[in-house]
């Protein structure tokens, strides 16, 4: 998608005009693979400012996202980004730095309210939605001192418009590309967030997940993604799919960066029923970053059956590393896996929750019915590749009091949770369960509402893949520790090479 079609400021358009191919560009400030901690260290020492860091990321976005490989990961730039960065620098100069994220630019998925900026879920039908206030999680991030750098592209309506949607494509943002191999699937729906982090367009980004939308794109783009326990991070001000499963979560290049971002994101929101009903003592997730966390841990291995030779080999290497670090690794089975009827739950919940969000939005589209009608009237622009079958199926559903919904939700939650993931954890006295990130095992944690985290463990012909750790509700500190320990042992992540196709 051309940068001239995006809602960007004039100064950013000038960046794109003068950007050159990234492979030949020598940036003023090298932000490639720059971690949150290192950026913070430099700012604390006075050798770097948030203003300069913001400028460097904007330069890199111009060179890679709008020019060069044209990743299409960033859909909008925050016109107030420099103003926010300068304010953070002034606070630091006055010895009022707010913490580890002070002055760090962060990219936000385009389904989370940021005051004054378009929040469209990637859809031209919703491009007139400019929220007047920040989502709760954005307020948390601002309180921690972050700079909102911009918004990331996504699979339109978080991959919930059609039964055959294209991952990483939206009618407003175009097709996001995998930075490792440009003509390969970036996965969705948080594709833009994962791609941006992988390509060092920012150190960290925010994604959202209902079922795999953080774990899958993080895995195939070779970064770390954490899907929190439902309720740990507020959903107020986030365009919904299904409240029983929806959550926002952090994406970064390292477990340490993800943990630092989660500290700022987590918090009790009285307006979110899942949040207020799940009050837990605040956790400093960075304290869980222990290289010895695997020692004595009991790890269950799910979906060990052969998938693909490179994936199988990397899994075996990762499991061997865990054993050498003192973990007890055992095979486990989940007889209920895949037997839940998740779609029925999502259709009912989407209709109810999207109608609530739309009714309170600034858009002219105030209902799912209105969205469907707009899409039909503008099909050539908004539906050139696929239709809106999921929208239409959802619109045909009744209220959440329908017996069909109540039964489907009870069955899905029981089969994925009480008789699935949670049953295995309890039966075998496990610390966590692991599985290849691309095998769909993350669905169990998604439906059960429990946390999961993926880290890179290898690649196949230039494409990365990861391993996912899953645990019981609010086990984020334990999962972060295990993932960090394995990350230090394997050191499997590498920067993208922007290959045009498979070698």
Q: Which residues are catalytic?
A: 109, 189, 213
- The arrangement of strands across the sheet holding 298-301 comes to 74-77, 147-152, 105-109, 204-209, 247-252, 224-227, 452-460, 463-470, 432-436, 298-301, 328-331
CA atoms of 223 and 487, how far apart (whole Å)? 11
DSSP string, 439-496: TTTHHHHHHHT--EEEEEEEEETTEEEEEEEE-STT-HHHHHHHHHHHHHHH------
Structure tokens at 362: 């600034």
Helix ranges (DSSP H) in 325-454: 342-359, 368-377, 379-382, 389-395, 403-413, 422-427, 442-448
CA atoms of 261 and 245, how far apart (whole Å)? 21
Find where tokens 């939206």 sit.
Answer: 170
Find where tokens 């739950």 sit.
Answer: 345
Q: Give Cα 179 to chain centroid, integer Å.
A: 16
What is the 3-class SS of 166-192, one letter each residue? Answer: CCCEECCCEECCCCCECCCCCCCCCHH
**Cα separations in angstroms, 343 against 188, 228, 339, 424:** 17, 21, 12, 24
Structure tokens at 111: 């389904």
CA atoms of 329 and 304, how far apart (whole Å)? 12
Q: How many residues does the chain have?
A: 503
DSSP string, 297-313: -EEEE---S---HHHHH
Structure tokens at 231: 């309720």
104 close to 33: Cβ distance less than 8 angstroms:
no
Contacts 24+ apart (CB under 8 A), 396-401: 397/347, 397/348, 397/351, 398/348, 399/352, 400/348, 400/349, 400/352
CB hemisphere CA count around 441 (13 angstroms): 30
CA atoms of 167 and 347, how far apart (whole Å)? 19
**Cα separations in angstroms, 235 against 244, 256, 265, 276, 482:** 11, 24, 11, 11, 27
110 close to 153: Cβ distance less than 8 angstroms:
yes
């Amino acid at each position: 998608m051309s940068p001239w079609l995006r809602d960007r400021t004039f100064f950013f358009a000038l960046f794109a005009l003068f950007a050159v191919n990234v492979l030949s560009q020598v940036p003023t400030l090298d932000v490639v693979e720059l971690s949150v901690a290192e950026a913070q260290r430099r700012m604390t020492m006075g050798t770097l400012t948030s203003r300069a860091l913001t400028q460097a990321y904007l330069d890199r976005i111009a060179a890679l996202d709008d020019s060069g490989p044209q990743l299409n990961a960033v859909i909008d730039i925050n016109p107030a980004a420099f103003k926010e960065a300068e304010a953070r620098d002034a606070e630091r100069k006055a010895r009022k730095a707010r913490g580890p994220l002070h002055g760090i630019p962060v990219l936000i998925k385009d389904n989370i309210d940021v005051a004054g900026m378009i929040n469209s879920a990637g859809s031209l039908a919703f491009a007139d939605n400019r929220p007047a206030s920040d989502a709760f999680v954005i307020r948390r991030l601002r309180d921690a001192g972050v700079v909102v750098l911009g918004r990331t592209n996504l699979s339109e309506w978080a991959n919930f418009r059609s039964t055959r949607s294209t991952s990483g494509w939206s009618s407003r943002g175009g097709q996001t590309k995998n930075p490792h191999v440009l003509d390969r699937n970036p996965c969705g729906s948080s594709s833009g967030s994962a791609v941006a982090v992988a390509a060092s367009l920012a150190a960290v980004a925010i994604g959202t997940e209902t079922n795999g939308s953080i774990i899958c794109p993080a895995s195939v783009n070779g970064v770390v993604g954490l899907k929190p326990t439902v309720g740990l991070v507020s959903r107020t001000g986030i365009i919904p799919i299904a409240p029983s499963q929806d959550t926002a979560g952090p994406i970064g290049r390292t477990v340490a960066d993800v943990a630092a971002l989660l500290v700022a994101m987590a918090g009790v929101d009285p307006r979110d029923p899942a949040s207020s009903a799940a009050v837990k003592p605040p956790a400093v997730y960075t304290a869980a970053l222990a290289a010895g966390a695997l020692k004595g841990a009991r790890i269950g291995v799910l979906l060990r059956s052969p998938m693909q030779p490179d994936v199988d080999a990397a899994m075996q290497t990762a499991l061997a590393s865990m054993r050498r670090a003192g973990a007890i690794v055992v095979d486990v089975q989940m007889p209920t896996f895949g037997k839940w009827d998740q779609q029925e739950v999502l259709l009912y919940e989407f209709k109810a929750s999207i109608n609530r969000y739309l009714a309170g939005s600034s858009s002219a589209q105030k209902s799912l019915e209105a969205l469907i009608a707009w899409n039909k009237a503008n099909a050539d622009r908004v539906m050139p590749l696929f239709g809106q079958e999921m929208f239409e199926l959802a619109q045909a559903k009744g209220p959440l009091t329908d017996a069909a919904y109540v039964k489907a939700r009870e069955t899905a939650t029981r089969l994925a949770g009480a008789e699935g993931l949670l049953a295995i954890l309890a039966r075998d006295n496990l610390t966590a369960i692991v599985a290849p990130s691309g095998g769909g095992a993350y669905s169990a944690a998604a439906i059960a509402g429990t946390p999961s985290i993926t880290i890179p463990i290898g690649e196949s012909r230039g494409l990365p893949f990861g391993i996912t750790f899953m645990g019981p509700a609010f086990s984020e500190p334990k999962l972060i520790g295990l993932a960090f320990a394995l990350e230090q042992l394997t050191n499997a992540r590498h920067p993208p090479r922007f290959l045009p196709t498979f070698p």
